[in-house]
Amino acid sequence: MMTSTQSAPVERRTGSFEKLHTLLETRNATLTLFSQLAGMRPFNPDKEMQRTIQEFCEALVDYTASAHFQLYRFIEEDAERRTEVRKVAEKIYPEISASTRFILDFNEKYDCEDHCDNLANLEQDLSKLGEVLADRITLEDQIISSYSGQRA
């Protein structure tokens, strides 16, 4: 029979792996929509473009929120006790925060509920966003690797 002190680490680890799974799911959904949107060149402000940009912006914010409000909050609230995971998270968090700012600015600019008619800079903004996402994914993968005890 397992005591409550034995089950606590298992429950915490289950929680961290569930949060990682959610992060990866939202990341994959975002990257799929990013590719779909990038493939719609030239960017004309028609109904299909508005729908795709709106869907992409929603996925982008969901992905960003899953990292911050699930994974990093989980680590910050001392629910994650593995030293290696905490050290990696503390090291990369400032860069993750900077990418979050760019992502939120992109969302603010292209959230299409009422202003998808100005797409003049979308190609350049998507290109920069792609770079930001690639860097962010590299950083997040360091945390994911630290959970499994691997070095990224």
Domains contained in the chain, number? 1
Residue 152 lies in a domain: no
- Domain span at residue 119 reads 4-147
The encoded tokens of residue 108 equal 């603010």
Residue 47 lies in a domain: yes
The stretch 53-74 carries a mean pLDDT of 84
Task: Say what the pLDDT of residue 91 is.
Answer: 87
Whole-number average pLDDT of the chain: 82
- The three-point CA angle 94-106-37 to 5° equals 120
**Chain segment 90-138, per-residue pLDDT in tens:** 888 889 889 999 999 999 999 876 557 788 899 999 999 999 999 999 9
Residues 69 and 102 sit within 8 Å (Cβ to Cβ): no
Residue 23 lies in a domain: yes
CATH number, domain containing residue 121: 1.20.120.1370
Residues 114 and 50 sit within 8 Å (Cβ to Cβ): no
Task: Say what the pLDDT of residue 60 is.
Answer: 96
> 23 vs 134, which has greater pLDDT?
134
Task: Say what the pLDDT of residue 145 is.
Answer: 85
Interatomic CA distance for residues 111 and 47, integer angstroms: 14
Residue 105 lies in a domain: yes
Residue 31 lies in a domain: yes
Residues 141 and 118 sit within 8 Å (Cβ to Cβ): no
For 111, list phi and psi in degrees, rounded to 5. Answer: -65, 110
Task: Say what the pLDDT of residue 18 is.
Answer: 79
The encoded tokens of residue 24 equal 């990866």
Residue 61 lies in a domain: yes
Residue 36 lies in a domain: yes
**Chain segment 72-92, per-residue pLDDT in tens:** 665 666 656 677 777 887 888
User: Which residue reads 């915490």 in tokens?
Assistant: 12
Residue 41 lies in a domain: yes
